[in-house]
Amino acid sequence: MKQTVTECMFMDAFEKCRPENFSYEGQRALFNYFEELEEDTGEEIELDVIAICCDFTEYDNIQEFNDNYTECNCEEISDIDEYTMVIPIDDDSFIIQNF
């Protein structure tokens, strides 16, 4: 049994289960990423908040990322693409798929 999830439902699921894991803007960026992924692959994605929180991390800026991944020492967000997938939020903030 499947249920279509709207952006509001997606964000509510995070607020109920993991409200501090992603910012409001980060949740919107993730929702858009998963919607595009479904369209590109033609496969439905199951909403699993815990798995998403384990697989993705939001960063406020490149320095915060470099503090966690000292071996990378990236100067720009685009440099992170060499290591993992990046979901931009705004000019400074972004989400990565953990590696």
Please count the other Cβ atoms lying within 10 Å of the Cβ belonging to residue 30. 21
pLDDT of residue 1: 64
Three state DSSP letters for 33-91: HHHHHHHHHCCCCCCCHHHHHHHEEEECCHHHHHHHCCCCCCCCHHHHCCCCCEEECCC
Burial 49-74 (b: 16+ CB within 10 A, else e): beebbeebbbbeebeebbeebeebeb
Which ranges of the chain have pLDDT less than 70?
A: 1
pTM for the full model?
0.90
pLDDT of residue 97: 98
Burial class (CB in 10 A: 0-12, 13-18, 19+), 89: buried
